[in-house]
Structure 1
Amino acid sequence: MNQFLGLLTQYAPLMLSGLMTTAWICTLASVLGIAVGLLLASLAGVPFRPLQWTVRGYIEIMRGLPILILLFVLYYGGPSIGIRLAAETVGVLGLGFYSAAYFAEIFRSGFESIPGGQIEAARMAGLSNRQIIRHIKLPQMLVLITPALVNQVIILVKESAVLSIITVAELTKNTTQFVNETYAIIEPYLTAALLYWLLVEAVAQLGRFIERRVRF
């Protein structure tokens, strides 16, 4: 027990540093993914076939592509065409644009849940597509899609562990360092599991708060 506490005390700064890196990368990636996903879902509704096909193609490619392959292409393949990005930047962009495809599908289902009569009435009243999205579609669909959005963010947090493969010093990478330096197994991974759980629980609680706010 004393050895366990000693190891935790010694490596607490390393683990907390990894947790903070995971948190800020996932926050930025979630914001990017939600923004791009909303844009994609909005463009998919534009009555222009080539644009709709492009959006659908992006979504299908990203949903069918392992996230690790995308990260490898961005991080290791980028320099071959003159694009050099820091590992953390690749993590944000990779997770963000990858998750955007899933967020787009969530927004699409939300848009489709709005009764068509409301949209027609808004158009007859002279509202533009942008105004319809902002004042009619978004407020109603947020009530329906908030749980799905939160769930996707939680999935993104857990998928962020693959960033350790491209040398990002996030929680999993730092846990591996903990293991390699101490040859301990249980202590590092129990600590990592607890920290991931705390981060996911924080996201879930934030989601419940947002859900209550959009319902009232």
Structure 2
Amino acid sequence: MSFDVNVLFDAWPAILSGAGVTILIWIVGTIAAAVLGFFVAVGRRFGGVLLDRLLGFVVAILRGTPFLIQIFLVYYGGPFIGLSLDPLPAGLLGISIYGAAYYSEIFRSGFLAVPTGHIEAGECVGLTQGQIIRRILLPEMTMLVLPPSLNMAVLLMKETAVLSIITVPELTATLSAIGAQQYAFVEALSVLALFYWVIVEITGRLGHLVETKLTRFRFSNA
């Protein structure tokens, strides 16, 4: 046996297509998860005790169960409640809901880290809850939630590989099929690992660059 990546070259259109699907799911799913998680955090922070407990219960379930089980329930269990989705939409929905649970906790922690006095000062000058969120909470919490938000984005990138289980044509499914056809499992998995490593490294470096610029902007305007 020999390690020969050349056996994968003939399948490069399929590999590029799989990589494109993976990146699409990651970007769209991460954005959707962050937006949904933000609204969940706002609801828990300003929606009263009942809504806080209800949303907290849902978040606890999502964070306490494996993503694999959740995606099975979305794809195979969806038809029982009238939600019949193709693999790609089911994957996007699953990863968005899964990520939203974690992003909601990240944003909620950011809200709690903002000094209460700042919020009370906004209330004293007559700001509404929406204005307090936009003008006080969001600017102050951005620096606090950026590092864990980037870590969560990296985690969601890795979780896209799970979607191959429900036949989403992302890179893991594509390379696994090519590896089986060409008897090149090691080569296919090595390319897959390299792809994820490169994406994670790029994300980490971009995140560090954004964090550095935000820090400089923050202190230059202090």
- Tell me if the contact between 2:32 and 2:96 (Cα under 8 Å) persists in the aligned partners: yes
- Tell me if the contact between 2:87 and 2:166 (Cα under 8 Å) persists in the aligned partners: yes
2:136 paired residue number: 136
1:26 paired residue number: 26
- Stretches of structure 2 that go unaligned for 5 or more consecutive residues are 218-222
User: Secondary structure of 2:85's match?
Assistant: coil
Q: Which amino acid aligns with 1:64?
A: G
- Tell me if the contact between 2:5 and 2:187 (Cα under 8 Å) persists in the aligned partners: no
Q: Does 1:123 align with 2:142?
A: no
What is the TM-score of this pair, normalised by structure 2?
Answer: 0.92
**Partner Cα distance (1:24, 1:91) in 2:** 11
Moved beyond 3 Å, runs of 4+ = none
Q: Return closer, same or farther for 1:115/1:18 CA change in 2, 3 Å cut-off.
A: same
> Bigger shift: 79-88 or 131-140?
79-88
Q: Which amino acid aligns with 1:70?
A: Q
Q: Does 1:90 align with 2:90?
A: yes
Residues matched between the structures, number:
215
**Partner Cα distance (1:198, 1:16) in 2:** 15
- Tell me if the contact between 1:36 and 1:100 (Cα under 8 Å) persists in the aligned partners: yes
1:197 paired residue number: 197
- Tell me if the contact between 2:3 and 2:186 (Cα under 8 Å) persists in the aligned partners: no
What is the TM-score of this pair, normalised by structure 1?
Answer: 0.94
- Following superposition, the deviation at residue 194 of structure 1 comes to 0.8
Deviations for 1:116-140, whole angstroms, at most 9, x for unmatched residues?
1111000001111111111111111
1:70 paired residue number: 70
1:41 paired residue number: 41
- Tell me if the contact between 1:32 and 1:96 (Cα under 8 Å) persists in the aligned partners: yes
Deviations for 1:32-82, whole angstroms, at most 9, x for unmatched residues?
110011111111112522111111111101001211111111111222333
- Tell me if the contact between 1:23 and 1:199 (Cα under 8 Å) persists in the aligned partners: no
- Following superposition, the deviation at residue 206 of structure 1 comes to 2.6
**Partner Cα distance (2:46, 2:139) in 1:** 20
- Following superposition, the deviation at residue 12 of structure 1 comes to 2.1
1:169 paired residue number: 169
1:152 paired residue number: 152
**Partner Cα distance (1:20, 1:12) in 2:** 12
Deviations for 1:75-112, whole angstroms, at most 9, x for unmatched residues?
11222333221211111110111111111111111111
- Tell me if the contact between 1:41 and 1:104 (Cα under 8 Å) persists in the aligned partners: yes
Q: Which amino acid aligns with 2:156?
A: L
- Tell me if the contact between 1:15 and 1:192 (Cα under 8 Å) persists in the aligned partners: no
**Partner Cα distance (1:213, 1:87) in 2:** 39
